[in-house]
């Protein structure tokens, strides 16, 4: 299987031309982070990469250096295994990858969308899959992560399928701070109705707006998966003060791979914040056949989740992507001051004429 666009470019383009290609495609060259050997060559064969984004040294503000991490992973057991075993096996795998992140001094870490479960929404079957839905505050996944956050002094964003006290189901990212306290949650605003992503069968449109969470390591927000196709969603997190926006996702090659490198990256540029795009990896096969409503034969295989997680800075420079096929941990050392530096340079926040668009949008919305 095709492994990765970056390794392909490196393999075939001579160094001098490669420098130009990378400069034009990816922006400013990033320094590689020196990570512990035990982290890079880990026993679990997790791909670990780290990069450092450059920033100016200011006279009146100290740098605000933070290490951000994102994890992409395959599920562990077949989707036919007992649910609790499936979930525990994922917990076990992720706890090992989080310990690698801790070795690399990661401060804020985000996991992929619906990370403790297979991506079941293609099936349209309620049972047994709705059983994976759990409380954001007291469910097993949050309890599992709280201790880890405390142990490693790490903020973790945990995207889960949430079941609230009224038994309403949501697609939610839970934010747990570095003391192990749940400081809030965000529920996915935009629900896909495309291909096999039949997600409205399972959970409701989010009702949390565009929250930004103040943490010890910066102001963070989460734009869950399909929300990345909606520029206004990205915009609102920026207007509310986000310095880093995570985009935990689950998407497949036949559908979105050409858009993947563009959307989170342009959001970082347009809104002068860091964006972190995370996609799951692997091919998930389900016990019952399902159709895509496109006349093609019924199938049990959702397609290939192509990983390729990457991080972009507000100046548009970006890391290479993680592999399309392997579990991975991508780390970036960033200076949050870069957000303001880019705003001062480009002036997008002063030239964007929100008033003009607010009136036009109101006219369109009200003309129904
Ligand atoms: N999980 C999810 O929202 N997937 C939708 C597919 C896409 O947006 O690429």
* CA distances (Å), origin 41, targets 38, 81, 107, 253, 290: 5, 30, 21, 28, 40
Ligand 1 contacts CB of residue 251 (under 6 A): yes
Ligand 1 contacts CB of residue 329 (under 6 A): no
Indicate the SS3 state at residue 282.
strand
Whose C-alpha lies nearest to ligand 1, atom 3?
Answer: 226
Average of per-residue pLDDT across 289-301: 91
Ligand 1 contacts CB of residue 328 (under 6 A): no
Q: Which of 225, 243, 284, 333 is catalytic?
A: 225
* pTM (global) more than 0.90: yes
Q: Which of 149, 188, 199, 284 is catalytic?
A: 188
Residue 36: pLDDT over 70: yes
Q: How far is the CA of 102 from the centre of ligand 1 (A)?
A: 29
Closest listed residue to residue 182, CA positions, set 168, 206, 202, 162: 162
Ligand 1 contacts CB of residue 226 (under 6 A): yes
Q: Which two tokens stand for residue 280?
A: 């799951």
Looking at residue 292, what is its pLDDT? 86
Find the DSSP H helices in the chain: 5-12, 15-26, 37-40, 83-103, 140-152, 231-239, 253-271, 337-346, 348-351, 354-366
pLDDT per position as a tens digit, 90-138: 999 999 999 999 999 999 999 999 999 999 999 999 999 999 999 999 9
Whose C-alpha lies nearest to ligand 1, atom 8?
Answer: 226
Task: Please state which of the ranges 53-67, 218-232, 291-305 shows the lowest mean pLDDT.
Answer: 291-305
Looking at residue 1, what is its pLDDT? 82
* Confidence at 293, pLDDT banded by 50, 70, 90: confident
* Confidence at 297, pLDDT banded by 50, 70, 90: very high
Cα separation, 140 vs 32, in Å, equals 36
Ligand 1 contacts CB of residue 225 (under 6 A): yes
The answer to whether 100 touches 39, Cβ cutoff 8 Å, is yes
Active site residue 185: no
Residue 368: pLDDT over 70: no
Active site residue 343: no
Active site residue 243: no
pLDDT per position as a tens digit, 42-85: 999 999 999 999 999 999 999 999 999 999 999 999 999 999 99
Ligand 1 contacts CB of residue 264 (under 6 A): no
* Confidence at 317, pLDDT banded by 50, 70, 90: very high
Cα separation, 243 vs 87, in Å, equals 32
């Amino acid at each position: 299987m095709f492994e990765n666009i970056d390794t392909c470019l490196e393999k075939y383009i001579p160094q001098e031309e490669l420098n130009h290609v990378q400069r034009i495609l990816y922006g400013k060259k990033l320094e590689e982070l020196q990570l512990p050997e035990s982290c890079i060559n880990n026993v679990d064969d997790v791909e670990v990469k780290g990069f450092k984004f450059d920033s100016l040294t200011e006279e009146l503000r100290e740098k605000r250096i933070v290490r951000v991490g994102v994890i992409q992973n395959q599920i562990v057991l077949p989707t036919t295994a007992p649910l609790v075993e499936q979930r525990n096996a994922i917990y076990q795998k992720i706890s090992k990858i989080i310990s690698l992140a801790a070795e690399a001094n990661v401060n804020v870490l985000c996991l992929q969308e619906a990370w403790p479960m297979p991506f079941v929404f293609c099936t349209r079957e309620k049972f047994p899959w709705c059983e994976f839905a759990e409380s954001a505050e007291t469910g097993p996944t949050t309890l599992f992560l709280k201790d880890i956050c405390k142990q490693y002094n790490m903020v973790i964003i945990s995207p889960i399928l949430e079941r609230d006290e009224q038994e309403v189901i949501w697609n939610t990212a839970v934010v747990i701070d570095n003391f192990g306290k749940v400081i809030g949650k965000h529920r996915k605003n935009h629900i896909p109705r495309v291909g096999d992503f039949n997600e409205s069968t399972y959970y409701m449109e989010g009702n949390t707006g565009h929250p930004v969470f103040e943490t010890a390591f910066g102001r963070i927000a989460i734009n869950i998966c399909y929300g990345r196709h909606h520029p206004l969603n990205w915009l609102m997190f920026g207007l509310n003060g986000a310095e880093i926006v995570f985009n935990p996702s689950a998407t497949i090659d036949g559908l979105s791979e050409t858009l993947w490198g563009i959307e989170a990256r342009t959001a970082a540029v347009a809104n002068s914040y860091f964006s972190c795009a995370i996609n799951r990896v692997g091919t998930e096969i389900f016990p019952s056949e399902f159709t895509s409503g496109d006349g093609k034969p019924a199938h049990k295989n959702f397609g290939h989740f192509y990983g390729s997680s990457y991080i972009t800075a507000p100046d548009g420079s970006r890391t290479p992507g993680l592999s399309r096929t392997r579990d991975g941990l991508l780390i970036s050392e960033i200076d949050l001051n870069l957000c303001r530096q880019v705003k001062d340079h480009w002036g997008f926040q002063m030239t964007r004429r929100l008033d003009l668009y607010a009136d036009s949008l109101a006219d369109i919305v009200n003309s129904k």
